[in-house]
Structure 1
Amino acid sequence: METQKDINYQRIAEAITFYTEHFREQPSLDTVAAHVHLSPHHFQRMFHEWAGVTPKQFLQYISLEHAKGLLQAPGATLFDTAFETGLSGTGRLHDLFIKIEGMTPGEYKNGGSSLVIRYSFAESPFGPLIVASTDKGICHLAFADKGVGDAFNELQRQFPNATFQQFTDAQQQQALFIFTQDWRQLRDIKLHLKGTPFQLKVWETLLSVPLGGLTTYGDIARDIGDPNAARAVGSAVGDNPVAFLIPCHRVIRSSGAFGQYHWGIARKTVMIGWEAARTAPGFNSGFNEN
């Protein structure tokens, strides 16, 4: 005897099949909901519960994967790729790549070879850093514990086809001011991130954890609407490409233990203590001025 859970699973599986077979038509939410005999609102909620993403995000993901395959073919044009993917024009193709891949379709087609990355080395209260930026924002910040050579090699590994320039630009300076100035008075620091939709959602949630605050993997999973994804959240936190600015050091275990940290548990402990001191009542610093 089929349970309601079985019926719901079959509906979502049928919806996924429909999206996979008809993505070139860019079907609307109403169209797919009607196909599986649900109201749009009910379908939206049920799809997110089962798939972990919204129907729109799923459609964007499979459209992007198809477009990426087309762009890898010799002689492929952006216009033809947009048309074959079912997008209304190259503008929508551009927006899709920027939102999910963090680069333009042209940059993807060229393997990132047209991406210019400027980088520099600096000192912080927690050790030496390498910080890198593109025209769009900070794309990499990591602790250079093993020396500048290893730090640069890791940057190259992340962006194997980019052109690199050792140069300190205004975006890097602005990012590094967070260690020495009142963070509330800084202009918005722009980030240029590449990740899966799930990773980007986790990193965006991390940005909402305030200075001196702490959260847990379970809390983040609930905040992004997927309470069973604590383990996946942990993986996304570990893949954070921008140390400190995206404050993955503020994530601890539900038991209260600090847990692991990509750049060492000792450094994580110092960071948490440093931030707690700067938000304590009476601390005389630009971080706590009214």
Structure 2
Amino acid sequence: METSEHIDYQRIEKAIEYLKTNFKQQPSLEEIASHVHLSPFHFQRIFKEWAGVSPKQFLQYLSIEYAKGLLKKQKGNLAHAAYETGLSGTSRLHDLFIKIEGMTPGEFKNGGQQLHINYSYAESPFGTLLVASTTKGICYMAFSNDSDHAFIELKQLFPNANYRQLTDQLQQNALQIFYTDWSSLSTVKLHLKGTDFQIKVWETLLSLPTGGLATYADIANEIRRPQANRAVGTAVGRNPVAFLIPCHRVIKSNGEPGQYHWGAARKSAMIGWEAAKSSIHMEEQ
């Protein structure tokens, strides 16, 4: 059964798709609300509860000019991007991701034959998540409106693993990333299946601060492979851990969000939501 939170996000996602298509016309609150079949008052209330800002303010965070401004501020210096963009408070979250372990060659080749994987489903501000963990850390996290399909995708990564539907502490720690108060967040460990190059790219993504953005070229420069933009793009696209490894913060050099494995509208929603949360945090400081 769908939760009210999930239904609200579906409406927000539809509204964001409308805003992305029509932002040059600066649609009114009434026009946006009508598109998602809600009254302006009800839509404004739901949207502000979800994003913390009005639809008009959120539209600013989705604009290409806003993205270009962020990229210009932090260009070529991802390691210090948090301080350059004034987001040092929220970037503390990423300091907690201190452990990324690649799977052994044996685990990589045999499809996880010796792995025991716990998995569970959870709600997030962006829809339902499937979260999976080994004894060493989170190995998979994906958005999906179809729980069966999400599990099939997980099994394709580790076809020979032993699975158990169980919520464990590793998963609970990881899901705290969606909270606005991260002071109690425990260290989040990741246990990933990937090549050395892919893991290097994913590790670099963790240096991107909440509310910050980078281009594929930025990531390539950061790992000292400036000619590897395309390979970086492929590695970003194969990220197996949604949101925790923030591949949604990688955009095109022209400021456009680009594609996303779990949906372009969801990517825009994440970027706008994080920008709104970061803006609120900065105002409170």
What interval of TM-score do these two structures reach, taking the shorter chain for normalisation?
0.5 to 0.7
Deviation at 1:194, TM superposition (A): 1.2
Map Cα deviations across residues 225-283 of structure 1 (whole Å, 9 max, x no partner): 01111111100000000000000000011111111111111101110011011111457
Deviation at 1:111, TM superposition (A): 4.9
Question: Is 1:200 the counterpart of 2:199 in the alignment?
Answer: yes
Consecutive unaligned residues in structure 2, runs of 5 or more = 1-99
Q: Distance in 2 between matches of 1:153 and 1:185?
A: 33
Which structure 2 residues correspond to residues 9-158 of structure 1 after superposition, within 5 A?
A: 102-103=103-104, 105=106, 107=107, 111-145=111-145, 147-158=146-157
SS in 2 for 1:164: strand
Does the 8 Å contact 2:101/2:191 carry over to 1?
no
Q: What is the TM-score with the length of structure 1 in the denominator? A: 0.60
Q: Distance in 2 between matches of 1:109 and 1:217?
A: 29
Rate the CA distance shift 1:271–1:224 in 2: closer, same or farther, 3 A.
same
* 1:237 corresponding residue in structure 2: 236
* 1:227 corresponding residue in structure 2: 226
Does the 8 Å contact 1:277/1:283 carry over to 2?
no
Map Cα deviations across residues 196-227 of structure 1 (whole Å, 9 max, x no partner): 11101100000000000000000000000011
User: What amino acid does structure 1 have at the position aligned with 2:242?
Assistant: A
* 1:159 corresponding residue in structure 2: 158
Rate the CA distance shift 1:242–1:111 in 2: closer, same or farther, 3 A.
closer
Map Cα deviations across residues 33-76 of structure 1 (whole Å, 9 max, x no partner): xxxxxxxxxxxxxxxxxxxxxxxxxxxxxxxxxxxxxxxxxxxx
Q: Distance in 1 between matches of 2:105 and 2:218?
A: 33
Deviation at 1:112, TM superposition (A): 2.4
* 1:273 corresponding residue in structure 2: 272
Rate the CA distance shift 1:110–1:235 in 2: closer, same or farther, 3 A.
closer
Q: Distance in 2 between matches of 1:108 and 1:280?
A: 41
Which structure 2 residues correspond to residues 240-259 of structure 1 after superposition, within 5 A?
A: 240-259=239-258
User: What amino acid does structure 2 have at the position aligned with 1:121?
Assistant: Y
Map Cα deviations across residues 94-126 of structure 1 (whole Å, 9 max, x no partner): xxxx965x1374x56865222100000011000
Deviation at 1:182, TM superposition (A): 2.3
Q: Distance in 2 between matches of 1:110 and 1:230?
A: 30
Equivalent pairs, count: 186
Rate the CA distance shift 1:128–1:281 in 2: closer, same or farther, 3 A.
closer
Q: How much identity, in percent, do the aligned residues show? A: 61
Does the 8 Å contact 1:132/1:139 carry over to 2?
yes
Q: Distance in 2 between matches of 1:125 and 1:155?
A: 22
Consecutive unaligned residues in structure 1, runs of 5 or more = 1-97
Q: Distance in 1 between matches of 2:220 and 2:166?
A: 38
User: What amino acid does structure 2 have at the position aligned with 1:103?
Assistant: T
Q: Distance in 2 between matches of 1:114 and 1:196?
A: 19
Q: Distance in 1 between matches of 2:222 and 2:272?
A: 25
SS in 1 for 2:189: coil
Q: What is the TM-score with the length of structure 2 in the denominator? A: 0.61
Larger Rg: 1
Does the 8 Å contact 1:130/1:151 carry over to 2?
yes
Rate the CA distance shift 1:239–1:247 in 2: closer, same or farther, 3 A.
same
